[in-house]
Amino acid sequence: MSNIIKQSENLSLLGFGNMGQAIVKGLLRKNIFLPSQIYIFDPADEKQQDAMKLGIQVLRNPDELLKKAHTLLIAVKPQMIQSALVPLSSVINKDNLIISIVAGISIRYIKDLLKNMELRIVRTMPNTPALVGEGITALSYSRECTEQDKSFAHQIFQSVGKTVVVPEEQIDIVTAVSGSGPAYFFYLCECMIDAGKSLGLSEETAMALVRQTFYGSGTLLMSGDDLPEILRARVTSKGGTTESALKTMEARNMKSIVIEAIQSAYHRAQELGK
């Protein structure tokens, strides 16, 4: 209970989908808020049921969110932000702290939408491992944010993993690297499972090998200060099997394909924000 932010401090969420739920579950797991301190508005029945199962409060109108809490976490899809936020423009002011996880949507865009240039806004980019408390979230702040706002926002995202602070102009890069990053990782898993199957393994065995290999390699990477290239070199003996695989990857320019793919995600994030 000692972690609970303040008995009087509540949190409201606009949108309670995958990411909103991941964050709330982290906050409840770490005892940062009690269920009675969290309010949501989401038009989807199924999401309202999810909220009720967690014991958190479901509101019937979005403008009630600001009556219940000073902090509003925006967790709708980018294409919904306009229709979701505009009805709130008359009830949001600089006494509120707005935290957005919406990809591609700038602090300036939110201020324009709400017709208030003095709003305290934290723009963030989490990722889906937040669902298991192992996300990484980048945060950037509007100049109006106080030190207390910053530490409050950190505490929220540290409940679902780690945090870094970046200037807002780098958030689209973060989106391309770690926001979309889990999908690249899963894609590599799929490729390795297919390769194992093509050589004769059952799906079940290939999956077991790949899952544990990634889990173990990730743990190894996190367990010390060695760079990935050092860890890679340790698995790669001259003339051996790993070297043969890596030479094939290099011959096909795998590194430039990955760099190009991530650059393309970055350009897409920039387009979405226009």
Ligand X SMILES: NC(=O)c1ccc[n+]([C@@H]2O[C@H](COP(=O)([O-])OP(=O)(O)OC[C@H]3O[C@@H](n4cnc5c(N)ncnc54)[C@H](OP(=O)(O)O)[C@@H]3O)[C@@H](O)[C@H]2O)c1
State the residues that interact with ligand X by CB under 6 A: 14-20, 41-44, 47, 62, 75-78, 80, 83-84, 101-103, 125-128, 179
Tell the smallest beta-carbon distance from residue 274 to ligand X (Å). 15
CA 20-43-65 angle, 5° bins: 65
Nearer residue to ligand X within complex by CB, 44 or 249: 44
Tell the smallest beta-carbon distance from residue 57 to ligand X (Å). 14
Tell the smallest beta-carbon distance from residue 142 to ligand X (Å). 18
Tell the smallest beta-carbon distance from residue 1 to ligand X (Å). 28
Q: What is the dihedral of CA 136, 127, 168, 98, to 10 degrees?
A: -100
Task: Give me the phi and psi of 83, to 5 degrees please.
Answer: -70, -25
Nearer residue to ligand X within complex by CB, 43 or 228: 43
DSSP conformation letters of 195-236: HHHHTT--HHHHHHHHHHHHHHHHHHHHHSS--HHHHHHHH-
Q: Cα–Cα distance between 169 and 39 in angstroms, integer?
A: 31
Tell the smallest beta-carbon distance from residue 98 to ligand X (Å). 14
Q: What is the CA radius of gyration of the chain?
A: 21
Nearer residue to ligand X within complex by CB, 96 or 127: 127
Beta bridge partners of 162: 136
Nearer residue to ligand X within complex by CB, 52 or 249: 52
When CB distances to ligand X are compared, the closest residue is 17
Report the DSSP pairing between strands 120-125 and 135-141: antiparallel
Nearer residue to ligand X within complex by CB, 186 or 215: 186
117, HSE (Cβ side, Cα atoms, 13 Å): 0
CA distances 172 to 82, 91, 126, Å, are 20, 29, 12
Nearer residue to ligand X within complex by CB, 85 or 119: 85
Nearer residue to ligand X within complex by CB, 128 or 217: 128
**3-class DSSP state for residue 100?**
strand
Tell the smallest beta-carbon distance from residue 127 to ligand X (Å). 5
Contacts 24+ apart (CB under 8 A), 213-219: 214/185, 214/189
Tell the smallest beta-carbon distance from residue 197 to ligand X (Å). 27
